Structure 1
Amino acid sequence: MLPEFIDDLGHGIYAIDTGFQRPRFDAAFLIVENCRAAFIDTGTNHAVPRLLAALTALGLTPEAVDWVIPTHVHLDHAGGVGLLMQSLPNARALVHPRGLRHMVDPKALWLGALAVYGDAEMQRSYGRLVPVPAERAEASHDGQVITLAGRPLLLIDAPGHARHHHVIWDPLSRGWFTGDSFGLSYREFDVDGRPWVLPTTTPVQFEPEALKATVMRMLGYEPLRMYLTHYAAIGGSEDEVRRHAGELLLQVEEVTALATSLRDAPDRHERLKAGLMASYLAGLARRGWAGDPAQAREWLATDAELNAQGLEVWLDRPAR
């Protein structure tokens, strides 16, 4: 029996709860094929013991890991890459070309997050970032195919959430490892097994048109499931994935319209944050979620805050 922090998703794919923020909020994925393994996203430094424990639970050694692939370099996805790599002697890190330098020298990542959160919170949530040796890291490219014990994995450029984002297609499961490019879906809000999906517009590179193009490009592969870092697998059929995509893109239109309507409001941030929260609660009510609204507000407060910040960066970007 697997530990409770590991979910077997089939096709040799496992979601590992990294323990970040709250249970089943942040996933790292482990793909196993013919006794070889690859991690997609790692969570933070604090997740590394769980990731190594997952290998042991599945009868694998650290030497069996060939690839560590962060979808992008935001710290809840990639903060643990350097520390994890220290325990994986045969692994190579495969990183989007816009994010590679931040894995080799994470100083800018650290300082940027430090300015937002402060040192105490950085240590509590993320731990000191560890660089990846340059000789063990490489940049991905659009259309790249790598293999894991003969199992092909396709990487494509996936801007919209961040310009340093790629997504990974697994033909065996007909699923995409989407990072944050297919939004968020928290298991607490499932209704009769039906997930609720919402877009993430966190700072600083949210671009709605690029995000729409990324989602449509992924749909072109006729996926059956999407593997979301926040959290785990959604879908089950092509029609279900397309339905989630439609809901996601409609919400992108709604939140960008809300932001545009508040562009010159003197209390823009607070009104935008309140508008986002109202939209989230209304969406849950339409789906028949019958939980405590106060609890929903608590779970979604960070998303409302960060998504408001990201929308404001988008509003104020001169090139827009």
Structure 2
Amino acid sequence: MVKYERFEDFYVVDTTPFNLNGIISSFILIDDKITLIEPGPANEYKKLNDALHELNLRPDIIIATHVHLDHAGSTGFLLRDYPNSIAYIHPKGVKHIVDPSQLWDAAIKFSKLLTESYGKPIPSDPNRVIPADDGQEIIVGKHRIKFVHTPGHASHHMSIIVYPEKILFSGDSAGAIFTISKKKIYVITSPAPFKPITYLESIEKMKKYSPVYIAPTHYGIHEEAMKYLNLGIERANLWLNTVKESLRENKDIDQIYKDIYNKDEDFKYAVDANIQFLTNGFLMQSIDGIILAIKNGDWV
């Protein structure tokens, strides 16, 4: 059964793998031009397409915040099945949407768990994949969409601000908000190759737009966007400085995980929920990315 919910002119579609809920979301904006933000993983394309059919919608515009498999994996399928649609992608990511073979090979080397979870993307028509410039705007009816380049999580990352609601679709540029047993928990999204200074600069850049709502792909649409952006800066600094100190003390990786666990209540709550996909697919990989960044001298 397809799971989706309505928020003003948007639908939030759950595209989480393994019959889990509330980890990966795709968003549909209802306007003169139907706009789909975050196609989600290839393995879950059926969920997304079923939602489109149930809602009797055909996307005109497809937007992915970046080309990682859990965000853009279904782009090629959407372009194939909706031949009048076009996709907007960060300029550095366009080639990977057109031909995802290099992306797929890199993903296999990075994590077998994630490639098995998210599935293999298919190529896209290069004439229908459009590079989105920083600050560029498009009009889709009564809504205006602004593209904001926000690297740090990935060099090919952009966030999207939709007006007039001022919803910030932050992808992975400003952390994740999961609801576990009715409690909202916030964690940063920092898998390798994480660039911490750029990540923090991107959050500051997003703050300048004073968004009202924040919609991280992981997961949903939330009020108090500025609170979460500030929390992103605070939490990133906590993790970075904790890991830096742990490495200085020559602690092993299990001890580093434990140090984060003891200092970050949200991380502790998420780990204690014992959702294997969440722990291994997000939390541990985010800490691994911070460890590598510090070892590479990206945070001193």
User: How many angstroms apart in 2 are the aligned matches of 1:297 and 1:83?
Assistant: 29
Does 1:234 find its partner at 2:222?
yes
CA contact (8 A) 1:189 1:196 kept: no
Q: CA deviation at 1:162?
A: 1.3
Q: Which residue of 1 aligns with 2:273?
A: 295
Aligned: 1:97 with 2:91: yes
Task: Return the TM-score normalized by structure 1.
Answer: 0.85
Give matches, 1:3-82, under 5 Å. 5-10=3-8, 12-21=9-18, 22-34=20-32, 36-60=33-57, 62=58, 65-82=59-76
Q: Which amino acid aligns with 2:185?
A: W
Quote the residue 1:87 is aligned against.
Answer: 81
Instruction: Verify the 8 A CA contact 1:190 1:196 in the aligned structure 2.
Output: no
Instruction: Kindly indicate whether the alpha-carbon contact (under 8 Å) linking 2:2 and 2:51 is maintained by their aligned counterparts in 1.
Output: no
**2:283 paired with 1:304:** yes
Counterpart residue type for residue 159 of structure 1: P
Aligned runs of 1:119-134 on 2, under 5 Å?
121=113, 124-134=116-126
Tell me how many residue pairs correspond in the alignment: 297
Change (3 A) 1:198 1:127: closer
Letter in 2 for 1:101: K
Q: 2:203 maps to what in 1?
A: 215
The code of the aligned residue for 1:84 comes to: L
How far did residue 224 of structure 1 move? 1.2
| Alpha-carbon shift at residue 104 of structure 1 (Å) | 1.1
The reply on whether 1:247 has 2:254 as its aligned counterpart is: no
Maintained 8 Å contact 2:42/2:69: no
Provide the rounded CA distance (Å) in 2 between the counterparts of 1:183 and 1:93: 24
Closer/same/farther in 2, CA of residues 44 and 135 from structure 1, 3 Å limit = same
> Is structure 2 residue 260 aligned with structure 1 residue 276?
yes
Gaps of 5+ in 2: none
Residue 76 of structure 1: how far off its partner (Å): 0.6
Check whether the contact 2:2–2:50 (CA below 8 A) recurs between aligned residues: no
2:127 is the counterpart of 1:135? yes
Q: What TM-score do the two structures reach when normalised by structure 2? A: 0.90
SS in 2 for 1:242: helix
Task: Output one character per residue of 1:219-259: Cα deviation in whole Å (capped at 9) or x when no partner.
Answer: 22221100111110111xxxx32222222211111111012
Structure 1 residue 298: Cα displacement: 4.5
CA deviations on 1:107-155 (whole Å, 9 max, x unpaired) are: 111111112334xx56642223201111111111101011213532000
- Secondary structure of 2:231 counterpart: helix
Q: Give the AA of the match of 2:122.
A: V
CA offsets per residue over residues 258-306 of structure 1, 9 Å max, x none?
12113355553222222233334x3478xxx7xx974257565223320
**Letter of the 1:37 counterpart:** I
What SS is found at the alignment partner of 2:186?
coil
2:179 pairs with 1:200: no
Counterpart of 1:111 (choices 105, 116, 122) is 105
Question: Partner residue of 2:296?
Answer: 317
The answer as to whether partners of 1:70 and 1:95 remain within 8 angstroms in 2 is yes
Distance 1:200 1:116 in 2: 16
8 Å Cα contact 1:20-1:125 kept in structure 2:
yes
Alpha-carbon RMSD: 2.3
The corresponding residue for 1:262 is 246
Give the % identical residues.
24
Find the partner of 2:149 among 157, 178, 182: 157
Q: 1:189 to 1:166 in 2, by over 3 A?
A: farther
- The answer to whether the aligner puts 1:174 opposite 2:153 as a matched pair is no
- Report the Cα distance in structure 2 between the residues aligned to 1:284 and 1:75, rounded to whole angstroms: 24
Q: What is the SS of the residue equivalent to 2:88? A: strand
Q: 1:128 to 1:98 in 2, by over 3 A?
A: same
SS in structure 1 of the partner of residue 263 of structure 2: helix
Matched position secondary structure for 2:247: coil
Q: Conserved in 2, the CA contact under 8 Å of 1:276 and 1:304?
A: no
List runs of 5+ in structure 1 lacking aligned partners. none
Instruction: Please state how far the C-alpha of 1:13 moved relative to its aligned partner.
Output: 0.9
